[in-house]
Amino acid sequence: MSNEKTGNAIGASRALQPSESNSPDFVPDKIPFDAPHGPPISLDPAHPVIHAAVPSRIKAVRIAQYGGSEQLKYEDVPVPEIGPGQVLAKVRYAGVNPVDWKTREGYMKQTRAAIFPLTLGLDFAGEIVIGGSTSGSFRTGERVFGFGEGTYAEFTAAAVADIVAIPEKMEFAVAAALPTSGLTALQAIRDYVQPKPGTRVLIHGAAGAVGSFATQIAKLWGAQVIGTASGEDIVYLRSLGHVQVVDYKHERFETVGQVDAVLDLIGGETAARSYAIVKKGGVMVSTVGAANAELAARAGIRSVNIAQERSAADLSELAGFVERGEVKPRIGEVFRLEQAREAQDASQQGRAKGKILLKVA
């Protein structure tokens, strides 16, 4: 991929202001998709099936070096190439995650060194436009969501193992809010907290992008959820019903008594104080690397640091929850693609009220 100098600094424009866009209940209007499904994707890489005209150059947000959000450039770039087991998808919405700005800052370079220029973004919802070899049962024009390679772009290459079909009545924006946040929450609750009816679970950061999913999933499986929050996030958690809310700015969470499990999405002192309130034999689960085996052993509990794992089956399970109305993503602010700098700043500065999205097309 060439390293053109055609980019412009981004972030000068204002965020989209759709009606009630900052409300926890906001769901952007459904983007109509009236084109019929095309023929099955060709398995011959030399003769891919193309659903729609694909330009040779597209718009994307990239970085040429590690640094602050000023490194994000809105550029003309070559359309991504696809390999075996991949499809090319037109991106309708892209999710903005903390890992995006952590990658930009260079925090991930010890485990995942960047090759510059780098298009950021992992999550997306859109539709398939080109399929290569071994592309499975996906069809051209099919609406899909999941993970791609650089989704802050008009088109992304995505492995067929990392995407699933969007349910018929689900909006692109809702689907784009699911992958990283939803899978992190689902895997943390299902695989590590493992709640049963009556299990008491304390969730730190219960109203955030991951926390809002975790709260609803734990409730769905019968847990008694206690969530820490402040300000308008308290209103959101109470709107879910049957959630005990701790305003961490005015009260200590230790007052809730013993719990069976803690899901820590915050880290630091909050995590360190949590071991004391977990019952013997309970579990401390952290998504931010704050689980400490020594502290857990002293408290007579288990502790585990987890990282979200890509899973098409889990994406489908999560979509099923949403389709049945059992879980509702909390969608926060929606930015245009060229506003990626503002979107990442909102995430990095902790100003997000739910899942931040980029509207691409």
Amino acid identity for residue 356 in this structure:
I
Pair 353, 232: CB distance under 8 Å: yes
The mean predicted confidence, pLDDT, of the chain is: 88
Q: Which domains does the chain have, with CATH numbers?
A: 8-177+329-359 (3.90.180.10), 180-305 (3.40.50.720)
Q: What is the mean pLDDT of residues 291-305?
A: 98
Least confident of 4-18, 128-142, 286-300, 341-355: 4-18
Q: What is the pLDDT of residues 256-281, one digit of tens each?
A: 999 999 999 999 999 999 999 999 99
- 354: burial class by Cβ within 10 Å (0-12, 13-18, 19+)? buried
The mean per-residue pLDDT over the stretch 22-46 comes to 35
Question: What's the pLDDT band for 1 if we cut at 50, 70, 90?
Answer: very low
Note if the bond before 78 is cis, omega within 30 degrees.
no
Residue 55: exposed, middle, or buried by beta-carbon count in 10 A (0-12, 13-18, 19+)? exposed
CB 107 within 8 A of CB 97: no
Using CA atoms, how far apart are residues 193 and 260, in angstroms rounded to an integer? 9
Cβ neighbors of 214 (< 8 A, separation 6 or more) are 185, 188, 189, 203, 206, 263, 265
**CA 46 from chain center: how many Å?**
34
State the Cα–Cα distance between residues 64 and 318, nearest whole angstrom: 35
Distance CA 44, CA 197 (A): 51
Residue 53 has pLDDT above 90, yes or no: no
Strand, helix or coil for residue 302: strand
pLDDT of residue 135: 67
- Specify the pLDDT at position 191: 98
